[in-house]
Structures are given as C-alpha cells and as structure tokens.
Structure 1
C-alpha cells in the first residue's frame, strides 16, 4: 500500500534536499508513519475501486469500514449450511457508510434454510468503491511531521538519563529518537476526526 506522503512532500517542508544518509531511510520511515496513521484511524485514505469486504450485520444494518464511500456495487448474502451465496436486491445505502438490509422478500426461490433460525445468513459480501482521490492535506502533514521528526533527530542511539536532587535520584532509559517513528498526542488529535468508533467485523478478501 502506498505511503501517505512522498519524498517531495518532505523536501517541501524541510526546505532542502535530503542527504544521502536520509534518502536511504526515508522510504522505510514514510511506510512506518503511514502504517501508524492507518492503524490509529482505521482508514486506508487511498482510493480502492471495487474493493470487497465481508461484514456481519447488526440490527439489519451493515457499516462499511472505509470512507468516503463513492459507490456500492453489490451486496451478497453468504450462504451457510450448504446454502448458496445470493446477490441481494433489497438493500439501501444511506449515502454515507451504512447499508440497510431488507428481509429477503424480493428474492425468488429463496432457499428454505434461510427461514430457519440457524439458516438465515449473518454475514454479507459487499463490493464497493471508497477512498480519496488525493490523501487529505492534514493527513499528509502528520505523516511528514512524524517522518521528519525521526529523520532529522540527532539521537540515533538510546541511552540512560539520570538526575540527582539532594538525597533523591532519578534514572530512566530513553530510546533513540531517530530510530522509531512515533505518533504524538497532538497528531492523534488531528487524526481523530477520521476515526470510526463503532463498526462491524470485517474480513478483507
């Protein structure tokens, strides 16, 4: 999956070209920053056409995990106990991220097992297009901040910090700031608007 920022984005903010040593590390650090952002927000941010996910319905509703949703192409009920998968017609997309399912009354020759308590499908396969044509500027900014903070840090090696005040002493180990990409509280606040706090179980195919 593509990184959420590019070397050109870093150079524009740094005001100079990267050194040879920085260029060796930049791709890995951008990938790390992008992974942390995606993990925190639950969003891919890049556009995916006809992406397929398997979702469990809650109260007759499916919540799509990736936004913005551009188009919902198909909804299929996954058969259980030997029943076939069936493409549904009675569903309604709310235009944001939820699909309301019908009761199956529009399906001709619906398998009898669907009407049994243990036979009605609980999982659905949804094919939809989602994501941004361009990564949002604030997400690019956070990815650059995270990467540049690590890339330009002089502290490549961890060490021990100790301090003594009168009879009391304090000692702590600090990791090398230039080794690991981190996400600060301020950066999390910028990303919070992209997070989805509730959702359904997702299995990507």
Structure 2
C-alpha cells in the first residue's frame, strides 16, 4: 500500500505559527500533520497530491442517451491530469476518449451469457491530483494539526466569580483534536468525491 505524503510540511506549519519548533515539537507536528492529512483525505475521498497510478476497473455499459460508445469507466481520483494508457481485458486500446474523469471506449462487443456475467476489466495508467496542494486544503490541515499542537488536552480555562474553572471541551462543543469541524467540512465539500468506481487492484 502506498503511503501518501502529508498535505503540509512541518516547515509550512512552523512558518504559519511564526516560530521555530524544537526537534521534539517537529516530530509531534509531523505526526499531527499526517493525522490531519489522513482525516482530510478520508473526508474528500481523494488522494489530493499529484501522482501517477495504475488501476483496474470494471467497465459499465454506457447510457445510450448520454454516451455513444461501447462502455464507460469512471476514474476515482480527481482532477485527471493525463491518461497514459488504457487496456481492456489485457488488450491495449487507442479507440477511446476522455470526458472529465471518465474514459469512454468507443466500441466494445459485450459478451452474451454466461460470459456476460464477467464484464470487461479496464486497466488505466493516469496522472491525477493537485500540484501544489490547494491553499484552502492546506489551511485546514494546519488548523487541525495546530489545535492539538498548542492544546493537546483540549483544556479551556476561565475565571468565574473569582475562581478558576477548567473544562476539557471548548465552549462550542466537543473537543475536535485533528478531526474536522462542520465549517471545515463545508470548505472541503467543493473537492469531495460523491461517487466511486469499482477498483479491483492497484499496481
């Protein structure tokens, strides 16, 4: 399984905080940025960072009202930057075109039963993601990591009637830590993938 890099570097976080981190703080910051990056990726259902991937998908029949082609595959990672190769059932194909994050195979003879129960398998090598990572995504990752870095226990203190009172949750609700607030989710919704392709294997 490929380990994806953090969406923000420790140097970026230190620059945003305007201070120099100690070696111990750098290790903690890296772990928190890794956690926050994983949380953001899980929410938007995308790798986000630029990469080239080879995956195999199950072709689906095209909607004749929308596409005049033999079959369609939807690539799960966005944005699609480049498609290097497409093969169907192990045979390289050139008779295809791209429509956003979909690959449309111009002509394909679908098998009749019982072979029809084994739909064509499409292997695609494509480049996807952003370079650089969008600034609003980076801002949310840094914000989520910084919540834990500056206040790891989620402690909030205030003085009431001359006495100091300490809470383990903020006034607005439960302690989020590296998780996302509703406001952060709304910002990320513009990137979020709402539908998934069937991915069989990665190379």
Distance 1:40 1:189 in 2: 11
What are the ranges of 5 or more consecutive residues in structure 2 without an aligned counterpart? 62-70, 156-167
How is 1:27-42 mapped onto 2 (pairs within 5 angstroms)? 27-42=30-45
Are the counterparts in 2 of residues 150 and 177 from structure 1 also a CA contact under 8 Å? no
Distance 1:13 1:89 in 2: 47
What are the ranges of 5 or more consecutive residues in structure 1 without an aligned counterpart? 79-84, 106-113, 158-172
2:8 corresponds to? 5
Distance 1:198 1:118 in 2: 29
Are the counterparts in 2 of residues 90 and 104 from structure 1 also a CA contact under 8 Å? no
1:195 corresponds to? 192
**Post-superposition shift, 1:67?**
1.2
Are the counterparts in 2 of residues 53 and 125 from structure 1 also a CA contact under 8 Å? yes
| 1:117-140 residue CA offsets vs partner (Å, 9 max, x unmatched) | 343543211111112221111111
**Post-superposition shift, 1:4?**
0.2
Aligned alpha-carbon RMSD (Å): 2.6
Greater C-alpha radius of gyration: 1
| 1:78-110 residue CA offsets vs partner (Å, 9 max, x unmatched) | 3xxxxxx2112221111x2011122337xxxxx
Distance 1:22 1:177, change over 3 A: farther
Q: TM-score, normalised by structure 2?
A: 0.75
1:67 corresponds to? 78
How is 1:46-65 mapped onto 2 (pairs within 5 angstroms)? 46-49=49-52, 51-59=53-61, 60-65=71-76
Pair 1:98-2:109 in alignment: no
1:170 corresponds to? none
